[in-house]
A and B are shown apart, each in its own frame.
Chain A
């Protein structure tokens, strides 16, 4: 199963990067979201999948899943959420100010 999940994150990365390489701001943001999903899945997989119960202590249970990757992912989710929100507003403002969301047109000054 781990291998399947890793293949899934490979697919997420591939689609994320293809989106990142696009010209439209929206696609780039979608790309970053997919990228963080892929990363979270990798972190989860590194802690081994399904070796026990959820990491909430209960009497009589000896096998728990690894809690550390979960804590890391939780932190990461919040951070990527913050970034995504900021990026979205940034894209909104950029488009509003410049009347375009095309990265090729947002290159700034003198590029001949």
Chain B
């Protein structure tokens, strides 16, 4: 199984090399083999006696993250969809994409996506599942932005990336919660511990996190907005990713986790409600679109909502219908996208207002579209699979248990959504193929597509018909296992065309009747879209959020990143001041101890006062020389203190350094502009003084407090005792500097050396004036 998952990725390595020969043989011809072989490999598992298969390959065993693959009925359904439709899409793309395109890029992205998607549906380990999940987001991003010279493509790619990655990250949060609660990273092992999860107080949070992941990926309301913009991708991509596979990843996730959450009422409410709203909103909005792929995008949204709603119901009938519809939707939606691509390819436009009357020009495409749209609309014919799943859906909406208001509203909403589904299906079909011809408006003269391009939709439409005619042949050996993986209680009921004259059939008839009326009077009520959504479009919300986020983060950054040193200093010092003060206050850190202080003498007080006066005077000096001298007073005063406190070496050093400093000062000051009187607003002066005085006070307090707490005796006894014995010197300070702690001195010398070199460099290496 692991080879099947990683085969596309491995093959992708060779694609750039193969694509060098694209002038002779289309790169897609080679790529086609991969999904086809994977499809054949997985087909062998179909059968009534299928049992789940498990495989493990070590990846990071110490973190319990291994490539655990688990193939059950549900995974098998998805794997077959991914590889089967993948093969058809590659086949279609061979004829769709011209050789002058960057085929290497296209197929690398597509194969990357295929691996990611196979990994998502086969992974049993939540973190591996997450890794593949994000790989689908990334490869989808690359594919949507395939024509990266188009502004709309880049916009759509970014939007889908932002939304799906947002959901993916929240899903990761849910997975982490689940892992912590259950102590395992395996989905199947989590299902075995349902009781622990359901008893957890974090259950609502976990549910929300995981649902966000599923809803964003599967384009559920209100996260559906990325899907219509993703239609900027090449049509094979739309057909593959945005109808059959990636958007079903969310569905898969819900289905996979529904054995865990099904017992929880919040799951029913959230998933059913969001699903049914998505169904209605998507089908309602689809009628408004003028772009063929736009119609199909909203149609996909609404159909996904329908599947999601059925998974939310969670009853046996509903789960079976959901699984059945996953298959059916993949067949007819894939074919419809391909037909939309053919029309685009042959006429040069996808705008339904410019199209019309193509029936006689493109008869094969029309036939295919007819089956596809009628199946999508759920028109009651025995050879259309869409009808069966729609009938099962209606059946499932009836008699639901759970929250009363929701359970009662669902059948009505289902009918409402289905009516609009019918309308947009007819609009799609008849808008393109019947009515007046506007051949002169079309960029190209339309004609039937080459046969190669038609193969894939023909196969898919054959699937529509065959599943319709022989529903049981597919369902019993294949879909039943999938349904049982979601809800182990599902038993097989034969899918029949004629159930007798019962409520679901009446609902279907209502849909068809009202749908026909609405379609025929479409122009009359079209104005309703100006009020709803009107300005309430969720695209506007998205654009607003993105724009405001940009704006606010810029303005926030601009308020404090002013480039002014003073602001940064104030921020740093102010923060230090506040944090330290608060911490001292909270921990009651201030202590004062009057014992063991040295006595105060007049000489010292005189020196201290002199230094203070000198320090304060530096603030008021507006003359260069005076400022230097006042600073010098402080320096010499400090060396006086060193003398008084029995520190001959530092007193000496300080005196020398101070003298040299003043000399350098005088040299530099000679060249520097004159000191100016400070012209600053009072508020600045006030805040400066506040910070300065506050900080000074804090230093004093911290110093006193530190001085008053004697926790350990000093290490100096050791130095005093051993200075002569070990160091051979009487001057303890010097022995420390060159013997006990000689390393400090070495690097202090280095600092001086570097400073000297830097000074030299600054003075010597000057740009010539005017030179660049």
Contact = CB atoms under 8 A, between A and B. Distances in A.
Interface of A: 1-28, 30, 33-34, 37-38, 40-42, 44-58, 64-68, 70-71, 73-75, 77-79, 81-86, 88-93, 95-96, 100-101, 103-104, 107-108, 111-112
- Looking at chain B's contact residues, the main secondary structure is helix
17 contacts: A3-B704, A6-B703, A12-B634, A37-B638, A48-B598, A54-B646, A54-B648, A65-B646, A67-B720, A67-B723, A67-B733, A75-B744, A77-B653, A85-B756, A92-B672, A93-B763, A101-B672
Given A11-B612, A49-B598, A86 B627 contact: no
B597 A77 contact: no
A107 B564 contact: yes
Contact of B675 (A11, A15, A24, A52): A24
A54 B675 contact: no
A41 B615 contact: no
B770 interface: no
Contacts of B605: 4
Interface in B655-707: 657, 660-661, 664-665, 668-669, 671-673, 675-676, 678, 680, 688-689, 691-693, 695-697, 699-700, 703-704, 706-707
A55 B273 CA distance: 84
B618 A10 contact: no
A108 B704 CA distance: 42
Contacts of B689: 18
Contact of A24 (B616, B648, B676): B676
A45 B703 contact: yes
B556 interface: no
B700 A83 contact: no
A31 to B, nearest CB: 8
B600 interface: yes
Given A14-B696, A95-B672, A8 B611 contact: yes
A73 B733 CA distance: 10
Given A42-B699, A44-B642, A8 B612 contact: yes
B665 to A, nearest CB: 7
Nearest to B665: A88
Nearest to B635: A37
A41 B638 contact: yes
Contacts of B521: none
A6 to B, nearest CB: 4
Given A53-B646, A54-B647, A74-B737, A90 B762 contact: yes
Given A10-B696, A18-B689, A85 B704 contact: no
B645 A50 contact: yes
A55 B612 contact: no
A12 B563 contact: no
A14 B573 CA distance: 11
A54 B723 CA distance: 14
Given A15-B692, A75-B737, A2 B598 contact: yes
A89 to B, nearest CB: 5
A48 B755 CA distance: 33
A56 B648 contact: yes
A21 B716 contact: no
B70 to A, nearest CB: 56
Contacts of B601: 1
Nearest to A84: B661
A55 B724 CA distance: 12
A107 to B, nearest CB: 4
B618 A26 contact: no
B563 A41 contact: no
Nearest to B624: A26
A3 B657 CA distance: 27
B195 interface: no
B569 interface: yes
Given A8-B612, A24-B676, 6 more contacts: A6-B699, A14-B693, A15-B692, A57-B723, A85-B661, A88-B664
A23 B699 contact: no
A7 B700 contact: yes
Contacts of A40: 638, 650
